[in-house]
Amino acid sequence: MLIFLGSSRVYQLISGSNGTAGSLPNSGYVAGSGSYGLVFPDLGTILLNPLAISQSIQVNVSRSNNSDGLNNQRLFNAISLGASFALNSEETITSDYVFVRARNSEFNYSENPSFISGSTGEVIYSNFINQPQVYLTTVGMYNDSNDLLAVAKMSRPLLKDFTKEALVRVKLDF
């Protein structure tokens, strides 16, 4: 059952929470203790209920480790060695396409240190002054305040010079 806590989605973690409620009393809840915890998928966080878990795997519910120091190991073993531990997830990914155009007069010089002299700031090779050839490899997406928001890497470098325009389609998944 989906509930909201603040602005985050929250799910109860119950026995059989992969779609079929377990055979424990109260549809998967541990009697007298409630669910095994809460799942916050938007935060990537699971909060565990020590009272409910202690009835299943015999861990000490105190804030510190129990006397034999094996609380952490018992919890790890119960999850990793359990034959019936399974999680299902579903996420909707929205995609959008943005087209980026580089005109023939734009982006023909490189910022690579091998292209420009560090001491004078001039193009090192004279044939690159009037006929530069550079390869586009990365597209940066900026907002109106000129803050970099996203970087797209191209699948292969694209040759660019004064005779060519480039139109790059960028797929945004969010």
With cut-offs at 50, 70 and 90, classify the pLDDT of residue 144: very high
Mean pLDDT computed over 118-125? 77
Token pair of 85 as six digits: 């531990």
Domain parsing of the chain, residue ranges: 2-80, 95-173
Q: What is the overall mean pLDDT for the chain?
A: 76
Cα separation, 113 vs 161, in Å, equals 19
The H helix count followed by the E strand count for the chain is 4, 8
The label of the residue with tokens 């998944």 reads 173
Predicted confidence (pLDDT) at residue 153 exceeds the cutoff of 70: yes
User: Which among 26-30, 104-108, 127-131 has the top mean pLDDT?
Assistant: 104-108
Residue 154 and residue 162 in contact, taking contact as beta carbons nearer than 8 Å: no
Cα separation, 165 vs 81, in Å, equals 58
Distant-in-sequence, close-in-space partners of 1: CB < 8 Å, separation ≥ 6: 11, 12
Predicted confidence (pLDDT) at residue 127 exceeds the cutoff of 70: yes
For residue 76, the surrounding DSSP H or E stretch is helix 71-80
The dihedral sign for the CA sequence 161, 162, 163, 166: positive
- Torsion, Cα 130 135 139 140, to 10 degrees, reads -60
Residues in the chain: 174
Mean pLDDT computed over 47-65? 72
Q: Which amino acid is at 151?
A: V
Mean pLDDT computed over 97-105? 91
Mean pLDDT computed over 110-117? 75
Cα separation, 166 vs 103, in Å, equals 7
Token pair of 31 as six digits: 């009697």
The dihedral sign for the CA sequence 138, 143, 145, 150: negative
With cut-offs at 50, 70 and 90, classify the pLDDT of residue 142: very high
Mean pLDDT computed over 147-169? 91
The label of the residue with tokens 């700031």 reads 121
- DSSP secondary structure code for residue 29 in this structure: P
